[in-house]
Amino acid sequence: MKTYLPKREEFERQWVVFDAEEQVLGRLAVKITDALRGKDEPTFVPFWDCGKNVIVINAKKVKLTGSKETDKYYLSHSRFVGSMKTTTVEEVREKDATRLILWAVKGMIPKGRLGRACFKKLHVYEGAEHPHAAQCPVKAK
């Protein structure tokens, strides 16, 4: 028996809304990543971009467990000697809360051309409003 491979025309680009309010960052990032890749659909093909467009609202209200709010930090380095910079979660949330979700999801998607194509379909907003009402997004489960 041959393995069923869906045609490109069979994929529908749906829009899905995730509400990050009082959700744990890592668990939310896994759900977002699965929707971006298309792993939550029965027609998943690992080497095609067959996922959904994802909108995340209330990114400022995402929750971290334990003492990660104060102890977790992000590193950045420009490859010059002595240029290592550390940023805590509190500082990132104060400056731009959408980065918490963007960085968590970016670490979970595949690296390369397919991952960059999936990542472009992610739209994160700090508040409860988003400008994608014309796409008729569906609330995620």
Percent helix, strand, coil in the chain, to 5, is 35, 20, 50
Give this prediction's pTM. 0.92
Residues facing residue 122 across a β-bridge = 54
Phi, psi angles (nearest 5°) of residue 117: -65, -40
Query: What is the reported pLDDT for 10?
Result: 82
List, for residues 65-98, the tens digit of each pLDDT value. 999 998 999 999 999 999 999 999 999 999 999 9
Residue 25 three-state SS: helix
In the chain, the percentage of residues whose pLDDT exceeds 70 is: 100
DSSP state of 111: S
Compute φ and ψ for 85, nearest 5 degrees.
-120, 140
Fold classified for 14-139 = Ribosomal Protein L13p; Chain: A; (3.90.1180)
